[in-house]
Amino acid sequence: MPIVTLFFDVEDPLAPDSDDAALRVCQLLAAEGLTATMCVTGEKARKLRERARRDVIEALKSHSLGLHTNTHSVHPTTMEAVKDLSWEQGVEAIRKSEEPGLASFEEVFGRMPCCWAGAGNTWAPHVLGWLATTPIKAWAYSLLTPPGGEPHRVNGLCGFPQHGAISEDDYASPESRATALDRIRALCSSKLGWVGVFLGHPTRYVHRAFWDAAYYGGLNPTGEIPLPEERPQAEREALFEGLDELLPRIAELGPVLPLDEVLALPWDWVPMGAGAMRHTREAATKRIAQAAKWPVHRPHLRVESLLAPLEAALEGLEIGRLRR
């Protein structure tokens, strides 16, 4: 049985009821005795403090916490910020973007995040240059995943992929829940020693659309930002009940550990062979090109300038294997 880590993205700074949704998710996890990894944006942390949601902050603190970028969809995004910059300039751009979020995170939660997690499954190699200057020694939702799907390491920084995901709408019916569980069960039946499973965004349990639609297309909105369409109460309850039903089923598939505990496990790091490196390079190039198509980005965002830093990031890439 593999070790399983559950991820949630806590990012909506606009809608106060998304705070309640995050609290509800934490309560459901607590009822099952499960500790997840909550990836929280710097802006969300600031809003929780501003809205005096100490209850939500304390509930989140009972989990492993990652920094889900500083401002998520505000332009320039991670990939936009480093486009066409040199390595040194790009690392500095990431530092200027992310350090305010890191400071807010530490102020609100009283500790450093265990990982950095890209917004919208985006990433840039320069992030690793910045992380190397911080106490953070891991990043989640990695785009550098080897062909075997293992965790990996670059210059002492550990990358953890997202192997599977259950979207919020998957919780809506017994049929969709069964299909989603079958996907995760198949992953846990593979040879992976560790499986990362994404279980959604608390804000989407209460809203039908993402909060950041106003940022789509590469422009920051002006004026008041509209809130996403709310789900009716019955629809909300159905999704929370679906999550409540699936959590113990997922926990049966393997020991559930948060990412900070996974990092503390004994890992053996082995060099990647030439064939696996070639596959990883090709796959990472495709993932970066796909990430550029995130609707938040301006259309046709070109990322060719990221390919040279990508080559440097892949040098010395090691595959992680749990010591049993």
The amino acid at 23: L
pLDDT of residue 312: 84
Helices of type H across the chain: 17-31, 42-50, 54-61, 78-82, 87-109, 126-131, 174-188, 202-206, 233-251, 259-263, 274-291, 307-314
Q: What is the percentage of the chain residues whose pLDDT exceeds 70?
A: 100
Confidence label for 28 from pLDDT (cuts 50, 70 and 90): very high
Q: Over range 60-67, report the average pLDDT.
A: 99
CA 297 to chain centre: 18
Q: What is the percentage of the chain residues whose pLDDT exceeds 90?
A: 92
pLDDT of residue 261: 98
Tell me: pLDDT of 324 over 80. no
Tell me: pLDDT of 61 over 80. yes
Tell me: pLDDT of 71 over 90. yes
Segment 178-215, tens digit of pLDDT = 999 999 999 998 889 999 999 999 999 999 999 999 99
Q: Over range 42-47, report the average pLDDT.
A: 99
Contact between 42 and 108 under an 8 Å Cβ cutoff? The reply is no
CA distance 298 to 311: 25
Burial status of residue 223 (CB atoms within 10 A of its CB: 0-12, 13-18, 19 or more): exposed
Segment 90-120, tens digit of pLDDT = 999 999 999 999 999 999 999 999 999 999 9
pLDDT of residue 98: 98
Confidence label for 129 from pLDDT (cuts 50, 70 and 90): very high
CA distance 201 to 243: 12
Structure tokens at 139: 């990043």
Q: What is the pTM assigned to this prediction?
A: 0.97
Can you list the domains of the chain with their CATH numbers? 3-322 (3.20.20.370)
Helices of type H across 51-170: 54-61, 78-82, 87-109, 126-131
pLDDT of residue 308: 87
Lowest mean pLDDT among 121-130, 191-200, 264-273, 309-318: 309-318
CA distance 95 to 273: 32
